[in-house]
Structure 1
Amino acid sequence: MAYITTDDGAEIFYKDWGPRDAQPIVFHHGWPLSSDDWDTQMLFFLANGYRVVAHDRRGHGRSSQIATGHDMDHYAADVSALAAQLNLTNAVHIGHSTGGGEVTRYVAKFGEPQGRVAKAVLVSAVPPLMLQTEAHPAGVPIEVFDGLRKALADNRSQFYLDLASGPFYGFNRDGATVSQGVIQNWWRQGMIGSALAHYEGIKAFSETDQTEDLRAITVPTLVLAGDDDQIVPYVEAALKQAELLPNATLKIYPGFSHGMLTMNAEILNADLLAFVRG
């Protein structure tokens, strides 16, 4: 298995498939998952001739369960270290949920200044800010995130089953076709990661204000979200991302859930490929 070691000692697991001279597509997973959440997209882009790269965020998946650095700055710096190690240039970075926050911080702070990024994609992503504050009264109250922390600390295994079985994929909606395989795969990915990284990651994805990051990104950026996303409300996320990004294209999918990359992969993959090729 392939790893890089960061300056502060985190061992970051990554996958790197396809021709080394092909354009790289770099995938950034959501909380509390792993690079495995992108398997469908990685196989799809690989079949279309691209080099595909994905890593397990520090404390997630097969990366080391380091005790520190569970914040957007370290997440982005880890990506920068990986991009340098693999010499990734002209790359398209695609992030889902918390991974969208990671892409936003990386592209703004490292990727564009270093000339490594061609385009970016934010899918059901958390920026600019999830938390309700005086300046952002439409955000999600802190009590909701405190509830997530309590559920994780009390019984992480059951919490992850409940989240995957319900709002994440919209399986709690009337008439939904429930996939036990999808639920079990979500649970599997979550449970191999670090409880501490996941616990502290809630603060990272909910309280990090990325308004200025979005304003700093000038590469073409595709913003995608479903209007039945029960995890990251698209009105306070995707619509504001499109407003703040200087070079954004916005698409909202009627009825799609937070987990649309899995549940609606055929549609999403085609749209991602069209954007990458465009």
Structure 2
Amino acid sequence: MNNSSMTATRRNVMAGTLSLAAAAAASATRPAEAANKKKAAQGTLPTGPGYVTSSDGTRIFFKDWGPKDAQPIMFHHGWPLSGDDWDNQMLFFLGKGYRVIAHDRRGHGRSSQVSEGHDMDHYAADVAAVVKHLDLQNAIHIGHSTGGGEATRYVARHGKNRVSKLVLIGAVPPIMVKTASNPGGMPIGAFDGLRAALAANRSQFYYDLASGPFYGFNRTGVKASDAIINNWWRQGMSGAANAHYLGIKAFSETDFTDDLRMIEVPTLVLHGDDDQIVPVADSAELSAKILKKATLKIYKGFPHGMATTHSDVINEDILSFIKG
């Protein structure tokens, strides 16, 4: 056999050996991959620090600060924001010795930008996945606006024996849209208008909403804060347009009446009487009548985003409720 033949033979042997090794490696990883997919489908596979995988495989981001043995407070953000909207409250209650948790709703912030599941049932199930992963017990849940609806559904459908109290701030329950059973609601055309503005120019729409009615910066004598406006816009633009578009239906057309009736824990309902986003008469005032153990507090002149613009007042009132 000449040198050329010997070299070719060696190459063939090496190629065959590498192919067998690759096949063996692939075969060995398949069971592990299958097991991981199964765990992800069951909602038990975390995908890194600060993430949990929900039952349909969606990655949900969360922040978890403070002593693990302290009483937990979980925050539910509004549309179209993220857990960052609660930074003021998280720092405040962290300083009071509580464990504070905030997640980003699916399609919002750092969570997965998925196509499906942009409805209250999935939102609540995602929260349940975070709660189970962190094993939160005796928790206080605080929700603002859309997050108030999410927190309501979670506490009613998933929170049995895990929740001690609930706080709703400028929250959307019982239902926002005008229906035969909710004649005081907003006409569907108002929400169609939100969808049209989002689809046409989401960036401009978010800037206008934050610089106007959300924080009451469109009111005479109210000084606008560029920092607050820009932070709202930043959070909104970090999420997915499809999730925000579909989320409008979730927060406006979901009926939480049965959820409110199911809730047994003490609930603090806070609302501003100058809320231009979720009018108080068709939200907080109705919810407080349905809830079994409600405490209603309405603030004169406060806007929808009062947890930011009047955080000093809101934080202290929540603390008093928690301690009480």
Is TM (by shorter chain) over 0.5?
yes
Aligned partner of 1:57 among 98, 105, 109: 105
**CA–CA distance in structure 1, aligned partners of residues 187 and 244 of structure 2:** 19
Provide the identity percentage.
67
Aligned to 2:157: 109
Aligned to 2:14: none
For residues 62-108 of structure 1, what are the alpha-carbon distances to aligned partners after superposition, in whole Å with 9 as ceiling and x for unaligned? 00101100000000000111100000000000000000000100000
For residues 122-142 of structure 1, what are the alpha-carbon distances to aligned partners after superposition, in whole Å with 9 as ceiling and x for unaligned? 000000000011221111000
Q: Secondary structure at the match of 1:93?
A: strand
Deviation of the 1:260 alpha carbon:
0.3
**CA–CA distance in structure 1, aligned partners of residues 76 and 184 of structure 2:** 27
The amino acid across from 1:183 in the alignment is: I
Aligned to 1:196: 242
Deviation of the 1:217 alpha carbon:
0.3
**CA–CA distance in structure 1, aligned partners of residues 315 and 265 of structure 2:** 20
For residues 223-276 of structure 1, what are the alpha-carbon distances to aligned partners after superposition, in whole Å with 9 as ceiling and x for unaligned? 000000000001100001100000000000000000000000000000011111
Deviation of the 1:56 alpha carbon:
0.2
Aligned to 1:119: 165
Deviation of the 1:21 alpha carbon:
0.1
Aligned partner of 1:160 among 200, 206, 215: 206
The amino acid across from 1:237 in the alignment is: S
**CA–CA distance in structure 2, aligned partners of residues 30 and 69 of structure 1:** 17
For residues 142-166 of structure 1, what are the alpha-carbon distances to aligned partners after superposition, in whole Å with 9 as ceiling and x for unaligned? 0000000000000000000000000
Structure 1 stretches of at least 4 aligned residues deviating more than 4 Å after TM superposition: none
Aligned to 1:141: 187
Question: Is 1:170 aligned to 2:216, yes or no?
Answer: yes
Aligned partner of 1:227 among 266, 273, 284: 273
Aligned partner of 1:84 among 121, 132, 137: 132
Q: Secondary structure at the match of 2:100?
A: strand
Q: Secondary structure at the match of 2:150?
A: helix
Question: Is 1:11 aligned to 2:59, yes or no?
Answer: yes
**CA–CA distance in structure 2, aligned partners of residues 65 and 231 of structure 1:** 25
**CA–CA distance in structure 2, aligned partners of residues 117 and 8 of structure 1:** 24
Structure ranking higher on relative contact order (CA contacts 8 Å, 6+ apart) = 1
Question: Is 1:128 aligned to 2:163, yes or no?
Answer: no
Higher helix proportion (structure 1 or 2): 2
**CA–CA distance in structure 2, aligned partners of residues 137 and 107 of structure 1:** 27
Deviation of the 1:184 alpha carbon:
0.2
The amino acid across from 1:45 in the alignment is: F
Deviation of the 1:9 alpha carbon:
1.3
Give TM-score, length-normalised by structure 2.
0.85
**CA–CA distance in structure 1, aligned partners of residues 183 and 101 of structure 2:** 37
Aligned to 2:141: 93
The amino acid across from 1:260 in the alignment is: M
Aligned partner of 1:181 among 217, 227, 247: 227
Gaps (5+ residues) in structure 1?
A: none
Aligned residues: 276
The structure with more radius of gyration: 2
**CA–CA distance in structure 1, aligned partners of residues 308 and 182 of structure 2:** 31
* Alignment root-mean-square deviation, CA: 0.5
Question: Is 1:214 aligned to 2:253, yes or no?
Answer: no
Q: Secondary structure at the match of 2:230?
A: helix
The amino acid across from 1:21 in the alignment is: D
Q: Secondary structure at the match of 2:282?
A: coil
Aligned to 1:267: 313
Gaps (5+ residues) in structure 2?
A: 1-48
Stretch deviating more after TM superposition (170-179 or 1-10):
1-10
